[in-house]
Amino acid sequence: MAAVPPPAARAPEGEPLSAAAIEARLDEHLDLVLSSRRTAAGPARELAAFSRAEQELVLRWVAVLAAAHAELAYQFASLAPRALRLMDEAGVEAWVRQAMDTYDGAGLYPAVAALREVEAFAERARARAAGLALEEVAGVLERYVRGLGGRPLKVEAGEAPWTDTETLHLPPVLGVLGDREGNFRLYKAMAVCLWAQCWFGTWRAPLVARLRGAGAEAAALYAALEALRLEARLARALPGARRELDALAAALAVAPWPEPWPEAARRLAAPEATAADSLELALAWAGRVAPPPPRPWEGPPRPEAVAATLEARLERERRTLRRELAALAEEQRGAVPDPVRLEAAPFALERIEDPAAPEGFTFRLELDGQPIEPPEEVRGLLTSIVQDLGEIPEEYLVPAGPGEYDAGAQPAGRDPRDVWKGMYHEEGAHLHDEWDYRRGHYRKRWCVLRELDVHPVRDGFVERTLRRHRGLVASLRRTFEALRGEDRLLRRQPEGEEVDIDALVEAYADAATGQEMTDRLFVRKRREERNIAVLFMVDMSGSTKGWINDAEREALVLLCESLETLGDRYAIYGFSGMTRKRCELYRIKRFDEPYSDEVRARISGIRPQDYTRMGVAIRHLTGMLREVEARTKLLVTLSDGKPDDFDGYRGTYGIEDTRMALVEARREGIHPFCITIDREARDYLPHLYGPANYVVVDEVRKLPFKVSDVYRKLTS
Amino acid sequence: MTGQTLRPEEHFVETEPYYEPVGDEIEVFEAAWRNQLPVLLKGPTGCGKTRFMEHMAWRLKRPLITVSCHDDLTASDLVGRFLVAGGETVWVDGPLARAVRCGGICYLDEIVEARKDTTVVIHPLADDRRVLPMEKRGELLKAPPEFCLAISYNPGYQSVLKDLKQSTRQRFVALEFDYPEPELERRIVEKETGIEPELAERLVKFAHMTRNLKGSGLDEGASTRLLVQAAKLIVSGIPPVAACRAAVAQALTDDPEMLAAIHELSASLF
């Protein structure tokens, strides 16, 4: 495992290293990929010309990259001089990080390719510095078009602005206008024009079908004509957006299109003009009129991509709508759907005039002649279907019969274990980032985690434990009962339900002696409600084999007894795994699950598994705790040692990743706490959990009692 | 200018509060009142529940006593308590007891916010017994026929902890409120503020855009109340986009991305 490179021993501080010194240090890391014909001499010679700080930067990253793959490090060393000439140090680091991310996600060759594109990267970085990156504004744009209405549209990076009616593809960086504000306006113009295409019927199914056969030129003409029509519609519906388009055209000195375009614009500006008119005109003009140059916020249309999306969506939405309607009919009538009555199409749509809608009307759903308020999903589906077809065909309103219920539903749930049979893929798993302290950066989607169930074992373990610790159970129950939220009388309050007689007597005495009479004369009842959710994360690594595992299981049994007395919400998960591609969380008790026989059997079924990759387990459980509503959220880890996994997840790396995962948890308002039996834990736990958030239990034998005891202290 | 002190029992609504009925809620409420049935108003915030209560108080000519419930509201806050005054203990009625005594309308706003044990004291009042037990005094207060109990609750925030118990909700006649239809909402904004119809229509459209964002980052869309406030700002000369930012966007969220998106929506619309 590569550590941080040692400080250079052979050159005084600040002086650039000689080519020979650099070569020697490169050799240390690149040994594996060097040969007599391929040496580090070339890169070393070039690097000798740079300052010491730049040399150290390169050497540091060579060490980091070599830990991942020596070839990657060699490529970096060869390209680094070029990169240093093109970019400043921060730029070079960004370039390496991007290559590392590619390596993590896609492997060596794409990563090397990413490194080689150093010129393009530098170019993009420059544009980014001057302009605006899509990722900075994608969130705002997505919400913006969402608010405008209609089907939700995603925003993604692509070359030219275009849409497939589900995703808006916008350029990754815009630097056309000098400042960020201007570039944001341009992004917004692109987004609103593409949204208008989806909302005002440019991509209606019948039109798309006709357009597909008409050729690229007709498509370009159609896009230009539609742009004119939509500008007029925007002027009516969103005058502010239209003004911004005009301002952009002025700022970018966009020349108006020559005749016959203004004439066409006048015709298409009529309120009754539709996309069908644009299409007629486009087909008539094809071969006679040249398409005009697209304006900066426009891109070439892609009818083929739209057609593919449309086809899949129409079928999917027809099925989903019919299924939803069947459920709705059942719910409204309070009965199982009767196939005969369902055949008679009980749903109908009533058109209602609405000048704000793109078609000038909206629909009201009726069931058996009575108007009903459809649920959110159904309303969204109806809107989406109208966007595609301009209406809801009759057949869409026939609720699905019982036999059709499963059609189009998700494929049957797979056993997560099957993933390891046959081809590797990551379906059904959760992907989590992992912190690499050497890079000072996350490895994206690095760990593959699955939730599995502990196989329940009914071997009388729980009963034996309860019998053996009979006295302890009773005393724990008493202590925890005392903790339970009970009405507490607060005396001497300025207001409250009853008069505090003691206080009143004193007050009279005070008044009689001429002192001021206090107003704190009341008793107030106050229930200190416990509002705690706690998640126990149990180490199920191989090192717990034997009596540690027994102690853990006993501790859990006693803990559950105590928590049941207390009434706090709690969940228990075990964690283990081997390598980043097989991290496992074992469900022992979920939050919403009662402490049942099944749970008891799962506790006794806890068996040591493989390794301890803690970071990913903490991240996953943090996500789970985030969903729970409670004033206090606790994540308690029961462990027997340092984080440790097969593929280099040990030492500083494992500790730093775990620490970062705990920092993330704290950011979510979760209190992490650790109970461990590792006697060396005092060396690293304060670094992970903070000085007061861990307990080292010296004797495994005491663990069962200690866990409940620690929990009591922690929450009272 | 001096503030005016009013005893709640004497607080009759004198002039008709402006209210546009959405459906048959006025008739249903009147019928419930005549039959001495308690009423539950459901609906999102700012859609006109409180205004409706004021309107009904005016219509039925009963004093209206409103209690905004909070998580520290105890049963004695509602019923009454002994206070020490001038060396003696004196009983002081709580708002609920006062409403019962004067045969008024007691409106418990956002009832789920109150402590669970508090909601139980209204049970005997809310069924056919129609009595308010005053344990501390060892008395039962019998409600006159004019007395009416109304509670409100917002099913929108789906918190497991803040749900109305079945035993409570099944005592009430329930009226559902929602944001009015666009046409009606426009008229309400216009009437309340005197804003131009064109602008009122755009404001309503803006409200619908924010309601589209419900669930994708917003807990609730803009309410009619927020629209009225924005319209008032516009009428006093604030430009529409600035008014929407101050009265709507900032009121809805603190998330910078969401704020930017809502701001862009209003900038596109006006």
Residues of A with CB under 8 A from a CB of B: 139-144, 146-149, 152, 188, 192, 238-241, 244, 354, 356, 376, 495-499, 504, 508, 511, 521, 525, 527, 629
Domains and CATH numbers, chain A: 19-130 (no CATH), 132-301 (no CATH), 306-400 (no CATH), 487-527 (no CATH), 532-714 (3.40.50.410)
Phi/psi of residue A596, nearest 5 degrees:
-100, 180
pLDDT for the residue B157: 57
Q: What is the pLDDT of residue A669?
A: 84
Per CB-CB distance under 8 Å, the chain B contacts of A188 are 264
CB-based contact, B163 to chain A, within 8 Å: no
Chain A closest-CA separation from residue B136 CA (Å): 9
- Same domain, yes or no: B12 and B88: yes
Q: Does B158 touch chain A (CB under 8 A)?
A: no
The predicted structure's pLDDT at residue B225: 93
Selecting from B84, B208, B262 the residue whose C-beta is nearest the C-beta of A504 gives: B84
The pLDDT of residue B256? 85
What is the layout of strands, in order, in the sheet containing A162-163? A154-157, A167-170, A162-163
**Record: contact A497-B160, CB cut-off 8 A:** no
pLDDT attached to residue B146: 93
pLDDT computed for residue B174 by the predictor: 92
CA distance A633 to A635: 7
B161 touches B114 (CB < 8 A)? no
Residues B29 and B57 in one domain: yes
Q: Name the residue of chain A whose CA is nearest to B85's CA.
A: A519
Is B62 a member of any domain? yes
DSSP state of A402: G
Alpha helices (H) along A627-702: 651-667, 681-689
Are the C-beta atoms of A642 and A679 separated by less than 8 Å?
Answer: no
Contact assignment for A240 to B160 by CB distance below 8 Å = no
Task: State which of A399-403, A577-581, B171-175 shows the largest mean pLDDT.
Answer: B171-175
Across chain A, what does the average pLDDT equal? 82
| B 36-95: CB under 8 A from A | 74-76, 81-82, 84, 87, 89
Flag if B267 and A244 touch (Cβ within 8 Å): yes
Q: Which residue did the predictor score with more confidence, A583 or A416?
A: A583
Nearest by CB to residue B264, choosing from A188, A504, A629, is A188
Q: What local confidence, expressed as pLDDT, does residue A416 receive?
A: 42
B68 in a structural domain: yes
Question: Given a cut of 90, is residue A477 above it in pLDDT?
Answer: no
Of B136, B161, B176, the domain-final residue: B176
Q: How does DSSP classify residue B259?
A: H
Asked if B162 is an interface residue toward chain A (Cβ–Cβ < 8 A), one would say no
Report the residue of B89, B116, B262, B264 to disrupt the A interface, i.e. the one with the largest count of A CBs within 10 Å.
Answer: B264
Q: Name every chain A residue with its beta carbon within 8 A of the beta carbon of B84.
A: 499, 504, 521
Chain A interface includes B35 (CB < 8 A): no
Residue ending a domain, choose from B121, B155, B176: B176
Residues of B whose CB is below 8 A from A147: 209-210, 212-213, 261-262, 265
Q: How far is CA A612 from CA A245, A577, A580, in A?
A: 57, 7, 11
Q: Phi and psi dihedrals of A96, rounded to 5? A: -65, -45
Which domain, by its residues, includes B133? 8-176
Judged against a pLDDT cut of 50, whether residue A52 lies above it is answered with yes
Which residues touch A464 (CB under 8 Å, ≥6 apart)? none
> Using the beta-carbon criterion (under 8 Å), do A140 and B213 form an inter-chain contact?
no
Cβ-nearest to A146 among B76, B115, B213: B213
Least CB–CB distance from A140: residue in B76, B241, B264:
B264
CB-based contacts of A402, cutoff 8 Å, min separation 6: A337, A339
Q: What is the per-residue burial (b if ≥16 Cβ within 10 Å, else e) of A525-552?
A: beeeebebbbbbbbbbbebbeeebbbbb
Q: Are A140 and B257 within 8 A, CB to CB? A: yes
Specify the DSSP class assigned to residue A353.
E
User: Is residue B20 domain-shared with residue B106, that is, in the same domain?
Assistant: yes
pLDDT (tens digit per residue) in B65-112: 999 988 778 888 888 887 777 767 788 899 999 999 999 999 999 888
Distance CA A95, CA A637 (A): 38
Q: How many domains does chain B have?
A: 2
Residue B2 lies in a domain: no
Residue B70 token pair: 């909070």
pLDDT at residue A318 in the model: 87
- Give the span between the Cα atoms of A287 and A264, in whole angstroms: 17
Looking at beta carbons, which residues of chain B come within 8 Å of A629? 159-161
Residues B155 and B62 in one domain: yes
Q: Which chain A positions have a beta carbon within 8 Å of B264's beta carbon?
A: 140, 144, 188
The band of A422, judged by pLDDT with boundaries at 50, 70 and 90, is very low
Whether residues B15 and B128 share a domain: the answer is yes
- For the stretch A158-173, pLDDT in tens is 888 999 999 999 988 8
ipTM above 0.90, yes or no: no
Phi, psi of A423, rounded to the nearest 5 degrees: -70, 145
Q: How far is A400 from chain B (nearest CA, A)?
A: 28
Asked if the C-beta of B26 comes within 8 angstroms of chain A's C-beta atoms, the answer is no
| Assigned domain for B61 exists | yes
| Cα end-to-end span (Å), chain A | 44
Residue A10 reports pLDDT greater than 60: no
Question: Do the domain assignments include residue B1?
Answer: no
Give the pLDDT band (50/70/90) at residue A356. Answer: low
**Contact assignment for B265 to A188 by CB distance below 8 Å:** no
What single DSSP character describes residue B109?
E
Which helix (H) or strand (E) is A114 found in, with range? helix A108-116
Cβ–Cβ gap B205/A504 under 8 Å: no
pLDDT band at A446 (very low <50, low <70, confident <90, very high): confident
For A148, the closest of B115, B209, B260 (CB atoms) is B209
**Which residues of chain B have a CB within 8 Å of the CB of A511?**
87
Phi, psi of A144 (to 5 degrees): -60, -50
Contact B212 A146 (CB under 8 A): yes
What CA–CA distances, in Å, run from A151 to A313, A437, A628, B163? 12, 42, 30, 32
Which of A142, A356, A504 is opposite residue B205, by nearest beta carbon? A356
B193 and B207: one domain?
yes
CB contact under 8 A, A629 and B161: yes
| Helix (H) or strand (E) segment spanning residue B71 | none
**Spatial distance between the Cα atoms of B170 and B175, rounded to a whole number of angstroms:** 13
The answer to whether the beta carbons of residues A219 and A208 sit under 8 Å apart is no
Closest alpha carbon within chain B to A135:
B257
Measured CA to CA, the distance from residue B116 to residue B165 in angstroms comes to 9
The 3-state DSSP class for residue A429 equals: coil
Q: What is the pLDDT of residue B156?
A: 64
Q: What is the pLDDT of residue A405?
A: 47
Say if residue A6's pLDDT is above 70: no
Q: Looking at this protein, which amino acid is placed at residue A215?
A: G
Nearest CA in chain B to A520: B84
Distance from CA of A484 to the nearest CA of B (A): 17
Query: Inter-chain contact B261–A144, Cβ cutoff 8 Å?
Result: yes
Place of tokens 């996953």: A620
Torsion angle defined by CA atoms of residues A460, A465, A467 and A470, in that order, rounded to the nearest 10 degrees: -160
Model pLDDT, residue B104: 93
Please tell me the distance in Å from A404's CA to the nearest CA on chain B. 30
Q: Which residue, among B78, B163, B210, B212, would best test binding to A if mutated, counting the most A CBs under 10 Å from its CB?
A: B212
Q: How far is A140 from chain B (nearest CA, A)?
A: 5
pLDDT at B113 over 90: no
Task: Note whether A140 contacts B260, CB cutoff 8 Å.
Answer: yes
In B, which residues are within 8 Å of A142 by CB distance? 261
Q: Which of B90, B268, B269, B270 to mutate to test the interface with A (most CBs of A within 10 A)?
A: B268
The tens digit of pLDDT for each residue in B180-208 reads: 888 899 999 999 999 999 999 999 999 99
In a domain, B3, yes or no: no
Residues B96 and B209 in one domain: no
**pTM of the full structure:** 0.63
Give the 3-state secondary structure of residue A716: coil
Residues of A in contact with B217 (CB under 8 A): 143
CB A171 within 8 A of CB A124: no
Same domain, B154 and B190: no
What pLDDT, on a 0 to 100 scale, did the predictor assign at position A420? Answer: 40
Separation in Å, CA of A241 to nearest CA in chain B:
4
Whole-number pLDDT of residue A341: 52
State which of B152, B176, B200 marks the end of a domain: B176
The shortest C-alpha distance from B8 to chain A (Å) reads 22
> What is the spatial order of strands in the sheet that B105-109 belongs to?
B64-68, B105-109, B148-153, B39-42, B173-176
The answer on B196 and B172 residing in a single domain is no
CATH number at residue B110: 3.40.50.300
What are the CA-CA distances from residue A320 to residues A317, A411, B233 (Å)?
A: 5, 15, 44
- Is there a domain that residue B124 lies in? yes
Q: What share of chain A is helix, strand, coil (3-state, %, to 5)?
A: 50, 15, 35
A591, pLDDT greater than 50: yes
Instruction: Evaluate if residue B220 carries a pLDDT over 90.
Output: no
Q: How far is A240 from chain B (nearest CA, A)?
A: 4
Same-domain pairing of B133 and B149: yes
Of A267 and A346, the structure prediction assigns the larger pLDDT to: A267
Average pLDDT of chain B? 87
> How is A133-194 classified by DSSP, letter by letter?
EHHHHHHHHHHHHHHH-SS--EEEE-SS-EE-SSEEEE-SEE-SSSSHHHHHHHHHHHHHHH
Q: How far apart are CA B164 and CA A141, in angstroms?
A: 38
Q: Number of residue pairs across A and B with CB atoms under 8 Å?
A: 80
Phi-psi region of B138 (alpha: psi -120 to 50; beta: other; left: phi over 0): left
Say if residues A103 and A111 touch (Cβ distance below 8 Å).
Answer: yes
Q: Identify which of A651, A686, A653, A654 has the alpha carbon closest to the alpha carbon of residue A672.
A: A686
**Contact across the interface for B261 and A521, Cβ inside 8 Å:** no
Q: Are residues B256 and B131 in the same domain?
A: no
The whole-number pLDDT of residue B145 equals: 94
Is B22 domain-assigned? yes
Q: CA torsion, points A465, A470, A472, A478, in degrees to nearest 10?
A: 120
The number of beta carbons lying within 10 Å of the beta carbon of residue A253 is 6
B215 and B200, same domain (yes or no): yes
Q: In this complex, which of B75, B115, B213 lies closest to A143 when CB atoms are compared?
A: B213
Spatial strand order of the sheet with A430-436 comes to A430-436, A441-453, A583-589, A569-577, A532-539, A632-639, A670-676, A694-696
pLDDT of residue B29 exceeding 90, the answer is: yes
Tell me the pLDDT band of A554, cut-offs 50, 70 and 90: confident
